[in-house]
């Protein structure tokens, strides 16, 4: 029986850990395990009672529609964010008591900061930005879908696999304790022979393939499927940031995947790539990881820059100032991001010459980032700004991101970096960059494009309250860490011995509670909006006076996106159509639309790779072989089957499109002063002077 289940045993279940050894520490571990299990059971129960299994399978899990795949990525991001936020609260609670030893064990503390970073970077931030790119790229370039729809679904399946393995580690076994970077020797077999590092290795390696495939898919889609007339310099800025992000995904993910597989060989097959003996060198891992790790920062933040670019233009009612400089800055960041990775280990023994070179490169990359900030401010200057929820997030972003960026300039100096590298100052810095730069951008984007995806707006009052909670909560949680970092509080430490830290950590705890309230506010906003969805409905599809092609469709868009592929003559094509008084027209004739059929390919990959990753973690070799062989066999058989396209008759396309055009033509349009009340049905009255 032991051989059949590898090293897996009943004692690995965390569900009953508290009952065997009651304490706050085990209560946290067992409570998290029970929350994960009960959450899954609750969802399954609801699907069963509501008889939604068939709908879930046919409408979502087997769909290759880029819009639905994008939404599913976002759902993964929100689910995993719940875990990340809860872990942050627990860590802050521990730090407020760390002078007396804290409420958690040292091992559990190390496990928490490892999972928190892993979850937030790989399974919150990555699904969010991939979801936005999935949803928006084809709509913004006038395409019907991604270049490789089935590969898109497979990428989603691989990302889900990584998230599933990390969530399984809550219930069975434990996670690694070497930080989100999983540095050996902390994750080597000698130091940690348990399943924790293996969970990390397989979750990151398998999801990494999915991200790399997504990058290739996005790049080919943008290169090959733009609407006629849409040259590169006529693309929306978000599409530009998505293109640069795609290139980063293609080139930055392989080093991480290679590092994971080499680490797996060290642990499972006795190799010595990163060990301290037989020729191994841990610094090889550090270089491989950060060759991915610093481009990863821009993989995450560039799409958020694209969102901020779109919203400044949209909510200032102006054409984006400095489009060309913004594009050049985006491309410059993408290139330079590969030249700065070594600043993550200035303290690890490199020569002064190498440190100086990477310090200079780190300072240089701030220049195109600064260009973006000035472009956004110039766009807002003189515009007719509406302080909607996205603009509240933008305001918080401006203030806090600039602070984080300036702290990054300070850290580009190797001598200063040496003093603060292993302190809470660094924790403050990277949260100061990623949370306002990425999360605020994501939430602003959700408020902008949610009505496009679901046909109704999010409640504005609840959205603004939630945005303010995020901003204030962030300030209280992370800005004080600059101070305690300069006072000498080390990062990653489970305890401290300076009582002066305690009042500051209490302030951080209060901020963390506000962040928890802000996260809950997202769901309150959603609940209020769903409850009032008839009053908030915007079926005509253009509630904000949008400028780009995605707003030239109904809300939600039909599966085929456009009744006819648009022809583009300039940037902001839809804004020009509205300024010319021709935003809604019908073609002389409609044609049949051909779409790819639904497929279970992504689900097969997800189930098989999750089983494979779990089996490799627990050394269940028969399951590893069976899952891998079964997946290969399924694809061999699947490749010989006929997969006829789904044909949407021209009459169906015409009926849908004409009904939408007629409804839009009968609507007089809502002015900006009333865009947040019930008069807004999705047709904005354009300010023609500004739009032109």
Here the tokens at position 135 are: 């949803």
pLDDT greater than 60 at residue 692: no
Residue 648 has a pLDDT of 94
Question: Which carries the bigger pLDDT value, residue 590 or residue 689?
Answer: 590
393-408 pLDDT per residue, tens: 999 999 999 999 999 9
Give me the mean pLDDT over the 423-449 stretch.
Answer: 94
Read off φ and ψ for residue 192, nearest 5 degrees: -140, 85
Identify the pLDDT of residue 124.
96
- The DSSP secondary-structure symbol of 125 reads I
Which positions ≥6 away from 329 have C-beta within 8 Å?
368, 369, 371, 372, 375
At 675 the pLDDT is 86
- Of the pLDDT bands very low, low, confident and very high (cuts 50, 70, 90), residue 672 is confident
| CB contact at 8 A, 554 and 452 | no
Position 1 scores a pLDDT of: 46
Q: Bridge partners of 230? A: none
Q: Is residue 691 scored above 50 in pLDDT?
A: no
Q: What digits encode the pLDDT tens for the residues 107-128?
A: 999 999 999 999 999 999 999 9
Of the ranges 273-282, 304-313, 503-512, which one carries the lowest mean pLDDT score? Answer: 273-282
Rounded distance between C-alpha atoms, residue 85 and residue 82, angstroms? 5
Q: How confident is the model over 546-582, as pLDDT tens digits?
A: 999 999 999 999 999 999 999 998 898 898 888 887 8
The CA distance from 242 to 219, in Å, is 8
CA torsion through residues 436, 555, 563, 672, sign: negative
With contact defined as beta carbons under 8 Å apart, do 517 and 474 qualify? no
Tell me what pLDDT residue 690 has.
Answer: 47
DSSP 304-343: HHHHHHHHHHHHHTSPPTTHHHHHHHHHHHHHHGGG-GGG
- Which residues are CB-contacts of 405 (< 8 A; sequence separation ≥ 6)? 366, 369, 370, 433
Residue linked to tokens 């936005």? 132
Place of tokens 């769901």: 523
Residue 686: the pLDDT is 80
State the pTM of this model. Answer: 0.96
How far is Cα 406 from Cα 41, in angstroms, rounded to an integer?
46
Does residue 410 have a pLDDT over 70? yes
pLDDT confidence band for 380 (50 / 70 / 90): very high
Supply 395's token pair: 């305001």
| Residue 331: φ, ψ to 5° | -65, -35
- Domains plus CATH for the chain? 1-51 (no CATH), 52-537 (1.20.210.10)
Give the lowest-confidence range in 455-464, 506-515, 622-631, 660-669. 660-669
Q: Which residues of 10-32 are buried (b: 16+ CB within 10 A; e: fewer)?
A: eeeebbebbeeeeebbbebbbbb
Mean of the pLDDT values across residues 41-70?
96
Distance CA 247, CA 226 (A): 17
Condensed to tens digits (0 to 9), the pLDDT of residues 576-605 reads 888 887 888 888 899 999 999 999 999 999
Tell me whether the omega of the peptide bond preceding residue 566 falls within 30 degrees of 0, making it cis.
no
621-628 mean pLDDT: 96
């Amino acid at each position: 029986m032991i051989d059949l289940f590898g090293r897996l045993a009943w004692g690995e279940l965390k569900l009953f850990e508290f009952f065997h050894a009651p304490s706050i520490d085990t209560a946290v571990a067992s409570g998290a395990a029970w929350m994960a299990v009960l959450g899954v059971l609750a969802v399954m129960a609801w699907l069963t009672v509501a008889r939604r299994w068939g709908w879930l399978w046919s409408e979502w899990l087997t769909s290759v529609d880029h819009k639905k795949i994008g939404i599913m990525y976002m759902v993964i991001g929100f689910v995993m964010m719940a875990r990340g936020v809860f872990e942050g609260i627990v860590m802050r609670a521990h730090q407020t008591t760390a002078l007396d030893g804290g409420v958690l064990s040292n091992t559990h503390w190390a496990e928490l900061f490892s999972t928190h970073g892993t979850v937030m970077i790989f399974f919150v931030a990555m699904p969010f930005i991939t979801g936005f790119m999935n949803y928006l790229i084809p709509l913004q370039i006038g395409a019907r879908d991604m270049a490789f729809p089935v590969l898109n679904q497979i990428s989603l399946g691989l990302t889900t696999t990584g998230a599933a393995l990390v969530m399984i580690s809550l219930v069975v076994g434990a996670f690694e304790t070497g930080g989100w970077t999983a540095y050996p020797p902390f994750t080597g077999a000698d130091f940690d022979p348990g399943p924790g590092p293996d969970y990390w290795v397989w979750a990151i390696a398998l999801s990494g393939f999915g991200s790399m495939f997504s990058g290739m898919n996005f790049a080919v889609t943008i290169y090959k499927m733009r609407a006629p007339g849409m040259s590169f310099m006529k693309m929306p800025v978000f599409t530009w940031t998505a293109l640069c992000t795609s290139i980063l995904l293609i080139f930055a993910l392989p080093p991480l995947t290679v590092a994971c597989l080499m680490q797996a060989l060290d642990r499972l097959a006795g190799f010595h790539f990163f060990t301290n003996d037989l020729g191994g060198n841990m610094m090889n891992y550090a270089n491989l990881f950060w060759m991915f790790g610093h481009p990863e920062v821009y993989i995450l933040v560039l799409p958020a820059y694209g969102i901020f670019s779109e919203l400044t233009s949209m909510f200032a009612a102006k054409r984006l100032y400095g489009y060309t400089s913004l594009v050049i800055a985006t491309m410059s960041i993408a290139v330079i991001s590969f030249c700065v990775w070594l600043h993550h280990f200035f303290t690890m023994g490199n020569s002064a010459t190498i440190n100086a070179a990477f310090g200079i490169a780190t300072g240089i990359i701030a220049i195109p980032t600064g260009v973006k900030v000035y472009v956004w401010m110039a766009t807002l200057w003189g515009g007719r700004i509406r302080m909607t929820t996205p603009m509240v997030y933008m305001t918080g972003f401006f203030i806090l991101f600039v602070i984080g960026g300036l702290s990054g300039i300070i850290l580009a100096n190797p001598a200063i970096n040496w003093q603060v590298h292993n302190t809470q100052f660094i924790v403050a810095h990277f949260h100061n960059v990623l949370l306002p730069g990425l999360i605020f951008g994501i939430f602003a984007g959700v408020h902008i494009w949610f009505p496009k995806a679901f046909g109704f707006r999010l409640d504005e009052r609840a959205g603004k309250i939630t945005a303010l909670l995020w901003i204030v909560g962030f300030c209280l949680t992370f800005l004080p860490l600059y101070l305690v970092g300069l006072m000498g509080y080390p990062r990653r430490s489970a305890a401290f011995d300076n009582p002066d830290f305690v009042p500051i950590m209490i302030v951080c705890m209060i901020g963390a509670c506000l962040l928890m309230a802000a996260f809950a506010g997202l769901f309150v906003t959603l609940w209020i909006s769903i409850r009032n969805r008839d009053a908030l409905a915007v079926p005509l599809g253009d509630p904000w006076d949008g400028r780009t092609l995605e707003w030239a469709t109904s809300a939600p868009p039909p599966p085929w996106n456009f009744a006819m592929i648009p022809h583009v003559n300039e940037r902001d094509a839809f804004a020009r159509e509205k300024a010319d008084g021709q935003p809604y027209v019908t073609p002389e004739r409609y044609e049949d639309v051909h779409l790819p059929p639904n497929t279970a390919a992504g689900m097969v990959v997800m189930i098989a790779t999750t089983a494979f990753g779990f089996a490799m973690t627990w050394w269940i070799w028969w399951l590893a072989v069976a899952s891998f062989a079964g997946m290969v066999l399924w694809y061999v058989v699947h490749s010989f089957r006929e997969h006829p396209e789904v044909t949407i008759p021209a009459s169906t396309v015409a009926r849908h499109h004409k009904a939408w055009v007629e409804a839009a033509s009968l609507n007089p349009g809502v002015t900006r002063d009333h865009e947040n009340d019930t008069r807004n049905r999705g047709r904005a009255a354009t300010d023609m002077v500004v739009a032109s």
